Amino acid sequence: MILQIYTIVHTLISLVAIFTGILVLFGMIAGKRLDGWTKWFLTTAVLTTVTGFFFPFHGFTPAIGLGIISLPFLAITILARCSRHLAGAWRWIYVIGAVICLYFNLFVLVVQLFEKVPVLHALAPTQTESPFKLTQLGVLAISAVLALIAVIRFRPEARLATS
């Protein structure tokens, strides 16, 4: 029962991270800082990564590996935004880091959808089939293109105060 509640809370945090991450990404593409949404995105992205480590441990899994990989990207993204205030190269480091953090959450969303949604599970029961691979490739390609656009268009003034 406790594990079910924990899973629901973790999932809700993940969905908030994805939703706010998409808003932040499109804000960057529009050249807007969206400070409030960014705080929610970074906070929930950290929370979803950290809470992922507290599920019962039954050996090393791809989910644990992705969580370990996510942490440095989150740290650099937060550093670029909050400590370096997007000054100089920290602007594009922040943009790329934020999109990578969002992509990791989208990657897991696709995995979960193919595991839990019967129609999708039937298309790719082992997640080695073409529909799964093509979906993941599509998410990666869209993320990369949007990241490039965001790097070009997101040029806010650096702020001295923490945002």
pLDDT digits (tens, 9 = 90+) for 85-102: 999 999 999 999 999 999
**Half-sphere CA count of 93, side-chain side, radius 13 A:** 19
Can you state the angle between helices 2-29 and 130-153, rounded to 10 degrees? 50
Q: How far apart are CA 34 and CA 109, in angstroms?
A: 24
pLDDT digits (tens, 9 = 90+) for 121-155: 999 999 999 999 999 999 999 999 999 999 999 99
The reply to whether the predicted model has a pTM over 0.85 is yes
- Enumerate the domain spans of the chain: 2-54+63-153
